[in-house]
Amino acid sequence: MSTTPFEKLITRNWGKPGSHTLDGYKKNGGYKALEKALEMGPAAIIDAVKKSNLRGRGGAGFPTGMKWSFVPRDSPKPKYLAVNGDESEPGTFKDRYILENDPHMMLEGIAIASYALDVHTCYVYLRGEFKKQAEILQKALDEAYQAGIFGKKLLGRDYPLDCYVVRGAGAYICGEETALLESLEGKKGWPRLKPPFPAVVGLFGCPTVVNNVETLASVPHVIERGAEWYAKLGPERSGGTRVVCLSGSVNRPGVYEIPLHVTVRELIESPQYGQGMPPGRKVKAVIPGGSSAPVLSGDEIDVALEFEALKNVQNMAGSGGVIVMDDQTCMVRALWRVARFYAEESCGQCTPCREGTAWQTRIIRAIEEGRGQPGDVEKLLNVVQAIAPYPPIGLGNTICALGDAAALPTHSFVTKFRAEFEAHIQEKRCPFGAGHHGWGHFGSGGFA
């Protein structure tokens, strides 16, 4: 646990007048980190990001500096930076708030990363539904061009850098980095086989780094305050703070920036964050990292919302989407909702995912509607094994991780709440009745 006093980084300007404008950002020290980075030089920037233990905030949690170091410096091809602002993971809604409240923080991170990686063209790929966020970001980008931060010179230095905002068509699969690159190239958003990896063969066949919105918004803080300071904010292998999304059966759902030692229970119960459950309700289950993460039962929530801590309990921090379900939630119906989503969003390229996601959805629906048969639970687990062998860790039979994303929740729901699935089959009905939905109570929203 860090001994450094907690302070907000990513959300520090939220709620301040004009925080989304260039003037507002500069009043709070904006672009000072870029000035410092330009004096440090590319190699020193990459080294600092490595030492900071900044990990990707989009889902996989891969060390950012290591990812940057994979780009071949001596490649004669142009290099690209692609920003993943698709944010299509159910239960996740933090990146859109970053874009709305402080887009220049991400733009400064883009500028620093581009300079470090010898990138002169960057694309910010946003989910198609993010019309409002795209407009705010484009205005911020226009301000940066007019101020000479982007364009023919990078903050006055002879280093051209162009950045473009691109909106997709609202496909979940385009949150996967290679499908995102395919979409940017104007093709169907189908994931690519790896290797080769994007760092070597990415956008237009050139070296490319794909980073998440929150990841890049974190970079200025690493440079501004130093790698050692940033690393000490978190545990040994994870630096900085984290922005998480809390939804479901809590009194105060919203977007919160937290130290990485905060547990799932603390996020739900603390007066700073979720402020507990609605009267008379108890925690039955929690999804800790977006809907693709395995579910935690109510007695497993004393675990930190940190990459390694969740990995140690065979779970994942994912995209930071924490979904709370209370004791009146039907777990079969909740899983049906999750499974249906992945069946609809499968791109269809791989047989195990295309057929398996639809198959498991049909079985779960039959169980929920009282049409389940003895043996259906075992059949469901067999389908999961065919999509992603060796759950709960997952070892996919598919090109991308969407198969894992569909299979791992199903495995965890069924193994941890099997009695509920069996009760549906034995009683030939949902024991929770038609009036109880899959996620539990929803309170009023907000962010802090």
pLDDT at 440: 44
Which residue, 269, 298, 326, sits at the end of a domain? 326
Per the domain annotation, does 438 fall within a domain?
no
Give residue-wise pLDDT tens across range 46-85: 999 999 999 999 888 899 999 999 999 899 999 999 999 9
Question: How many Å apart are CA 384 and CA 438, to the nearest integer?
Answer: 21
- Check residue 394 and give its pLDDT: 61
Q: Is residue 119 part of a domain?
A: yes
pLDDT tens per residue, range 336-367 = 999 999 999 999 999 999 999 999 999 999 99
| Residue 155 within a domain | yes
- Residue 40 maps to which CATH number? 3.40.50.11540
pLDDT in tens, 217-252: 999 999 999 999 999 999 989 999 999 999 999 999
Residues 176 and 125 in one domain: yes
CB atoms closer than 10 angstroms to residue 76:
6
CA–CA separation, 112 and 119 (whole Å):
10
Task: Provide the CB-side half-sphere exposure for 384 (13 A, CA).
Answer: 26
Shared-domain flag, residues 320 and 350: no
> What integer pLDDT is reported at residue 4 of this predicted model?
58
Domain around 355: 331-427
Same domain, 341 and 256: no
pLDDT at 447 over 60: no
Whether residue 199 is found in the same domain as residue 108: yes
- Do the domain assignments include residue 435? no
The strands making up 283-287's β-sheet, listed across from edge to edge, are: 254-259, 241-248, 321-326, 283-287, 296-297
344 shares a domain with 321: no
* Res 61: pLDDT: 86
Same domain for 220 and 153? yes
Q: What is the mean pLDDT of residues 441-448?
A: 37
Each residue's pLDDT tens digit, 114-169:
999 999 999 999 999 999 999 999 999 999 999 999 999 999 999 999 999 999 99
Confidence class of residue 412 from pLDDT cuts 50, 70 and 90?
very high
Residue 435 scores a pLDDT above 60: no
What's the pTM? 0.92
Summarize the confidence of residues 204-228 as an average pLDDT: 97
- Same domain flag for 167 and 285: no
Over residues 16-31, the pLDDT tens digits come to 999 999 999 999 999 9
248 and 359 both lie in a single domain: no
> How large is the average pLDDT for residues 206-222?
98
Task: Report whether 243 contacts 12 (CB < 8 A).
Answer: no
**What is the tally of structural domains in the chain?**
3
Average pLDDT, the chain: 93
**Residue 11 falls inside a structural domain:** no
Query: What's residue 231's pLDDT?
Result: 96
pLDDT in tens, 165-191: 999 998 999 999 999 999 999 999 999
Whether pLDDT at 3 is above 70: no
Distance CA 199, CA 341 (A): 30
**pLDDT value of residue 6:** 86
> Is the per-residue pLDDT at 264 higher than 80?
yes
Percent of the chain scored above 70 by pLDDT? Answer: 94
Q: Assess whether 298 and 215 both reside in one domain.
A: no
Q: Find the CATH number of the domain harbouring 269.
A: 3.10.20.600
SS (H, E, C) the chain: CCCCCCCCCCCCCCCCCCCCCHHHHHHCCCCHHHHHHHHHCHHHHHHHHHHCCCECCCCCCCEHHHHHHCCCCCCCCCEEEEEEECCCCCCCCCHHHHHHHCHHHHHHHHHHHHHHHCEEEEEEEECCCCHHHHHHHHHHHHHHHHCCCCECCECCECCCEEEEEEECCCCHHHHCHHHHHHHHCCCCCCCCCCCCCCCCCCHHHCCEEEEEHHHHHHHHHHHHHCHHHHHHCCCCCCCCEEEEEEEECCCCCEEEEEECCCEHHHHHHCCCCCCCCCCCCCEEEEECCCCCCCCEEHHHCCCECCHHHHHHCCCCCCCCEEEEEECCCCHHHHHHHHHHHHHHHCCCCCHHHHHHHHHHHHHHHHHHCCCCCCCHHHHHHHHHHHHCCCCCCCCCCCCCCHHHHHHHHHHHHHHHCHHHHHHHHHHCCCCCCCCCCCCCCCCCCCEC
Q: Is the pLDDT reported for residue 446 higher than 60? A: no
Q: Answer with the one of 232, 251, 272 that is the final residue of a domain.
A: 232
- pLDDT of 436 > 70? The answer is no
